[in-house]
Structure 1
Amino acid sequence: MRFDELELEDAVLDGLDAMNFLETTPVQELTIPIILEGKDVIACAQTGTGKTAAYVLPVINELSKGQHASNGINAIIMAPTRELAQQIDQQIEGFTYFVPVSAVAVYGGTDGIAWEQQKRGIEMGADIIIATPGRLLSHMKLGNIDFSHVSFFILDEADRMLDMGFFEDIMSIYKELPKSCQTIMFSATMPPKIRTLAKSILKTPEEVKIAISRPPESIMQTAYICYEPQKIAILQHLFVESRPQRVIIFSSSKLKVKELASTLKRLKFNVAAMHSDLEQSQREEVMKEFKNGRIDILVATDVVSRGIDINDIRLVVNFDIPHDPEDYVHRIGRTARGTGGEGLAITFVSVEEQYSFKKIEDFLQKNVYKIPVDPIIGEAPLYEPDKNKQRRGRGGRPTGKYPVSPRGRQRK
């Protein structure tokens, strides 16, 4: 479906045309008309399906009609991370080029100057507030926010927010909103806790469910079946064979990210770490340096796998197995952006992780090709996921003192 077939205002369509947005994605086609009708919505759609535009466009469309408060907050968009909040803010900026609708992003990890800027944006009556729950609650407790004019309440990546422990914060904010507020909820997954939240805040909602997409066939997916201590040796061996450029290495904990980045630095690789302990300014600087090619390897937690667009990634390495198959799809999908859908993904699978990786293969409905471990690195375990079912876990805790492949050479 084309956007001009939807009941959108001309100024909104002009913005879409300027951004070369012509055809809707499935989630946009199904969701936008429902939101325009004023109904509550619960939508199951993952990152990469165009879900941000699916809720942003109808909200902008309604605000552009001039029938809402001119000096009040009309829409609240909740996001689990500051990175996603920033991305939503950027998309709104593009979509509102021909529309007099303003927005401000409100998130933590900033200095006092940023806090005052956010506060000023709120007090000046930005039409749309994009916020992380904790920071919005902080402003709310200080009396900085008037919720009386809010007509739209949107939760993006609701499952992530609940995983991060934001249920009480969300409910505290929701209770301050007008009863007539239209509520829209997007989630990549639909576990029972999401159903419980939906029943608490949605009024006879329409449900939209987009089938969870699998990685495109053009992404070459491979894996090494290995022992946990062999992972860094395999990684070094890969980078000796081919100099790393535009590489993201994912790990599931901040501790492992820090230690892995430190180890790679000692091996003279051009690497930086990205995790939630960094100040916002530090994270932005790391992303800038990586996007500009001044950093070859980015070691990151899953905070990067959702909500950040990075083009031309040549390789994604899963240093350990993600928490669920959908996180695996999010991670390796980074390598298919801006490259015509082509990319390479390598996953390291320890003995303890074999059963979890088998679940990912079942989800993918395919067997991922297993690359033999070079004998010089040592004997590798057999792939016996059912046998190792009782041993499943997150892999051994790194010590920062990984064995090095005898063939490895530190780069000059």
Structure 2
Amino acid sequence: MKFSELSLDPGLMEGIEATGYITLTPIQEKVMPTILAGRDIIASAQTGTGKTAAFLLPVLSKLIEHRHEGHTSGIIIVPTRELAVQIAQAVEGMAYFTPISSIAIYGGGDGNAFVQEKQALQKGVDLVICTPGKLIAHLNMGYVKFDELQYLVLDEADRMLDMGFHDDIMRIIRQLPAKRQSLLFSATMPEKIRSLAKKILKDPVEVNIALSKPPEKIDQKAYVVYEPQKDALIQHIIRETPHRSLIIFCSRKQTVKQLTQTLKRANLNVAEIHSDLEQSEREDLLQGFKSGRIPVIVATDVLSRGIDIDTIDVVVNYDVPHDGEDYVHRIGRTARAEKEGKAFTLVSDKEIGRFSRIESLIGKVVEKAPVPPELGKAPEYIVHRRSGGGHRAEHQGGHRQAGGGHHIARPKHSGQGHRQENGRHNESGPRPERAPRTEGTQRPEGSQRTGVPKKIEKRNPSGGGDA
């Protein structure tokens, strides 16, 4: 199913098309039509399966269609500040060409941040992404009005209950109109989640969302390296791995450009594909790649979906994808039409936690290949897992997560896009959200205005960890 077959707002479609996405993932195909039809949903879905776009795109489209100026129209409640930031960034990318306003509200800032959040809640904002404790702090002040709210999303509901947020969630929900659309997502479906669902959902559709697994025909390997070793290792893979067609995926457009130049200086026949190229240029390069004239393509995730070339022998992830869904789509470009294929992922010492989460999601420990000795000493694959008040290191399993800055996005005037005001903190490790004292000690906020780019590089629309 293609995005063009859904009744999404044209501004959202412009953002989707700018990322190069054409077809829905299985997750989105299950969930999005149901949400667009106005039904409540209870869904079993892990972080990293691509669920974020599955609920964001239809909610955003409906918010655009039925905007209530001066009122808050939708809230997304999440367990941690890290997830709030991640979803807020996904909203910014998807809604770039729309008038939607949004704000992320979570603990850890200072009084200036609290004032800015208060102003947004008083004046009304289309979409609030929040942690329960911080929103309760605002509710305690008496100025939060949700009388026109249309949409409620609970993401990672089981984790919120495990963290003791049941009473906070129910207190927030008691402030909402009875007539609303509610969506509940949970990685697991224990009885306490079903009990919560009965309290807040009306005749819900139940959806079981599982991450697609890579075909068994793909021989997956990972190299654990330091970042400066990656370019030399890429050259080693290209020269030592037999192939007719090889794709190298990079998460950033700038990385694609730099790596392409490095490989050309090494006398390798490569080309680059990213969102700065016109569609006709992309098509010409893909035709050269398909014919074998260009044996190696360096690309952003614009090529991870929507292309079907049976001759791709090898896929290389220059960096670790943002989530499991992206990993599956990237390496799924090989082993087509019952053929076999190879997939290599270059995992820097700072990407080990992310790759470990992907291994958990796909249910497979990927073989760690030895780094060629001429590249020098490489790091060990040791995963840091937070346990109680500290960390413990493991050679497999567990994860380490980095946090992000406080994120606020508001629309530009005259429908010219989206403005982001951000700045606040940058911290590592997921932290349980606690209801802060209202006098708070939050950090100061900076702000910046972003213009409308020629094109948008992919902002993890399939989820991300789930955007």
- Could you state the TM-score of these two structures normalised by the residue count of structure 1? 0.56
Indicate the residue corresponding to 1:375 in structure 2. Answer: none
Indicate the residue corresponding to 1:133 in structure 2. Answer: 132
Distance 2:39 2:4 in 1: 21
Deviations 1:289-315 (A, max 9, x none): xx9xxxxxxxxxxxxxxxxxxx96579
Letter in 1 for 2:166: F
1:136/1:370 Cα in 2 relative to 1: closer, same or farther (>3 Å)? same
Q: CA deviation at 1:169?
A: 0.8
1:10-409, aligned counterparts within 5 Å?
Answer: 10-65=10-65, 67-213=66-212, 220=221, 244-245=226-227, 342-343=344-345, 364=363
Unpaired runs of 5+ residues, structure 2, are 230-254, 256-316, 332-342, 349-358, 370-385, 393-467
Letter in 2 for 1:162: L
Return the structure number with greater helix share.
Answer: 1
- Is the contact between residue 105 and residue 128 of structure 2 (CA under 8 Å) also seen in structure 1? yes
Deviations 1:157-216 (A, max 9, x none): 112211211111111111111000110011122222211211121111001112245578
Deviates further, 141-150 or 208-217: 208-217
Aligned CA RMSD, in angstroms, stands at 4.1
Letter in 1 for 2:141: L
Q: CA deviation at 1:98?
A: 2.1
- Is the contact between residue 48 and residue 325 of structure 2 (CA under 8 Å) also seen in structure 1? no
Distance 2:329 2:20 in 1: 15
Distance 1:132 1:203 in 2: 23
- Is the contact between residue 7 and residue 33 of structure 1 (CA under 8 Å) also seen in structure 2? no
Letter in 2 for 1:343: T
Indicate the residue corresponding to 1:278 in structure 2. Answer: none
- Is the contact between residue 218 and residue 343 of structure 1 (CA under 8 Å) also seen in structure 2? no
Letter in 1 for 2:177: P
Distance 1:68 1:399 in 2: 45
Paired residue secondary structure (2:184):
strand
Distance 1:397 1:72 in 2: 41
Letter in 1 for 2:126: D
**Identity over aligned pairs, percent:** 45
Indicate the residue corresponding to 1:6 in structure 2. Answer: 6
Paired residue secondary structure (1:64):
helix
Q: CA deviation at 1:20?
A: 2.3
Paired residue secondary structure (1:185):
strand
Paired residue secondary structure (1:148):
coil
Letter in 1 for 2:13: L
Q: CA deviation at 1:139?
A: 0.5
Q: CA deviation at 1:342?
A: 3.7
- Could you state the TM-score of these two structures normalised by the residue count of structure 2? 0.50
Q: Which has the higher contact order (CA 8 A, sep 6+)?
A: 2
Distance 2:107 2:389 in 1: 29
Letter in 2 for 1:135: K
Letter in 2 for 1:29: E
Q: CA deviation at 1:5?
A: 0.7
- Is the contact between residue 245 and residue 314 of structure 1 (CA under 8 Å) also seen in structure 2? no
Paired residue secondary structure (1:42):
strand
Deviations 1:316-367 (A, max 9, x none): xxxxxxxxxxxxxx8xx59959986643789xxxxxxxxxxxxx99x94x78
Letter in 1 for 2:200: I
